[in-house]
Amino acid sequence: MTFKNEYLAKVYADVCKRNPNEPEFLQAVGEVLESLEPVVERRPDIVKAGVIDRLVEPERGIIFRVSWVDDAGNVQVNRGFRYQFNSAIGPYKGGIRLHPSVNASVIKFLGFEQIFKNSLTGLPIGGGKGGSDFDPKGKSDGEVMRFCQSFMTELCKHIGADTDVPAGDIGTGAREIGYMYGQYKRIRNEFTGVLTGKSISYGGSLARKEATGYGLCYFTQEMLAAAGKDFAGKTVVISGSGNVAIYAAEKATQLGAKVVAMSDSSGFIFDPAGVDLKVIKRLKEVERKRISEYPKEVPSATFTPGCSGIWGVKCDIALPCATQNEIDEESAKKLVANGCIAVAEGANMPSTPEAIAVFQSNGLLFGPAKAANAGGVATSALEMSQNSMRLSWTFEEVDAKLKDIMVNIYRNVAKAAADYGLEGNFAAGANIAGFLKVADAMMWQGVAY
Ligand code: NDP
């Protein structure tokens, strides 16, 4: 990573020195700092106030042991994390990832990105992220419950409805949030909106489950519309088959597109007739099975093992919705060669910097994660509002607010890019727009943190 600006080069060198062996975190920081070059040139007050030096260091990080007993009676030990990155504009907010690949680097990159994403929503939420290297796949409900209870036994000391409000992420769905909420309430004796992504029966918001995927499509639709295009009649490829992927597929289909491929970590399905979402939802949400089961029920489809092959499927629009760095330079070139016109990120940091460069140099519309997938956390903030007011909005009310938020995010991101001479570069626009609000709040609040 090279910077024209000396100050940013020094900040980045310090971050590298302080966080060795954390490649994902350094990638996320490097990408944001690069976009801030024109801001630093124009705003010496931000540099003088040390805003960027402070922003790259989490306000607080908690690492803890999570021990639990499996069904065979054996003691298991996992590691839990919560990085409370920035509270300048509101309580820390960000999901909990449960996946064997979780480590400090992954949680810090996610927490860092969350600062800017949450700022872009226009709602009062700071940035944080948590997780554990526990793998819920293949575990019984009892094992998942005991893990979640042990995880929350420590985490509950550090969170609260006005302090830090975690939510779901990879491996953490309604089941895990429910077990964690139950344990929080048991220990703290409080019924508050301390977690979002809850089930409807105890304070969840309608449309939260759908929000990230739907929001991704609302953002993409706005980005396409500004370029005189839309979803109708387009072929779409979506990686993943979890929460974000399923509801992105549902909304893209409602908007008139045909989703022809989806995946999980074992491989991808190709269904030229358009994926049957009823089957995907049952396999993934109810039966917790592998996507390779899909062609056994839908004869028009085929299954191919391996993750990256999905980017070789011809499409107009690609929506990566699985995990970080899933599109590398080679996959990006395949998308371009096959005539893809737009890529919008449902997952966090799914495209490598080299892949983004390929998209931008070939004139594709590129919707970065911080902007395009912000609908999930925005609707989580709407869940917090409903919990505080002790009322619930209808599905239509929440969905309409989500749509407004995503349209505004697109417009603010496009405007910030244009204001700083980077018209059409939505990745830079998202970083700049998200940053400026947080920077302003940090300057008002002084240098204590
Ligand atoms: P889920 O756990 O519901 O689904 C994740 C999907 O991605 C699964 O199909 C999973 O396959 C696949 N996947 C996960 N890890 C890998 C990997 N290392 N390689 C290949 N495939 C993988 O998670 P979500 O849908 O909630 O999250 C998906 C992405 O969206 C993440 O990047 C998350 O941070 C981001 N996101 C989620 C939000 C939300 O509201 N849930 C909000 C904003 C962003 P398998 O089952 O085989 O592991």
Max Cα distance, the chain (Å): 63
73 and 220 part of one domain: no
- If one counts the domains in the chain, the total is 2
227 and 179 part of one domain: no
Residue that is written with structure tokens 């390779």 in the block: 292
Q: What average pLDDT does this structure show over 11-38?
A: 98
Residue 299 inside a domain? The answer is: yes
142 and 278 part of one domain: no
186 and 214 part of one domain: no
- 107 close to ligand 1 (CB < 6 Angstrom): no
Ligand 1 atom at shortest distance from the alpha carbon of 101: 18
Residue 26 inside a domain? The answer is: no
355 and 221 part of one domain: yes
Residue 31 inside a domain? The answer is: no
Q: What is the edge-to-edge ordering of all strands in the sheet holding 126-132? A: 60-69, 75-86, 126-132, 92-98, 164-167
Specify the residue with its C-alpha closest to ligand 1, atom 22. 265
Ligand 1 atom at shortest distance from the alpha carbon of 241: 9
Domain boundary among 309, 334, 367: 367
Give the residue numbers marked as catalytic.
129
Domain boundary among 367, 383, 409: 367
Domain boundary among 340, 367, 394: 367
CA nearest neighbour of 150 among 197, 173, 183, 186 = 183
In this predicted structure, what is the pLDDT of residue 53? 98
Residue 328 inside a domain? The answer is: yes
Q: The domain containing residue 214 runs over which residues?
A: 210-367
290 and 255 part of one domain: yes
- 242 close to ligand 1 (CB < 6 Angstrom): yes
Specify the residue with its C-alpha closest to ligand 1, atom 31. 347
Residue 7 inside a domain? The answer is: no
Mean of per-residue pLDDT scores for the chain: 97
- Residue 230 pLDDT > 60, yes or no? yes
Residue 164 inside a domain? The answer is: yes
| Crossing angle of helices 426-444 and 23-35, rounded to 10° | 90
If one residue of 170, 241, 321 were mutated to test the ligand 1 pocket, choosing by the most ligand atoms within 8 A of its CB, it would be 170
3-state per-residue secondary structure call for 77-98: EEEEEEEEEECCCCCEEEEEEE
CB 194, CB 181: distance < 8 Å: yes
If one residue of 113, 135, 243, 310 were mutated to test the ligand 1 pocket, choosing by the most ligand atoms within 8 A of its CB, it would be 243
Residue that is written with structure tokens 């940013």 in the block: 8
- 376 close to ligand 1 (CB < 6 Angstrom): yes
pLDDT tens by residue, 92-124: 999 999 999 999 999 999 999 999 999 999 999
158 and 218 part of one domain: no
Residue 374 inside a domain? The answer is: no
- Residue 216 pLDDT > 70, yes or no? yes
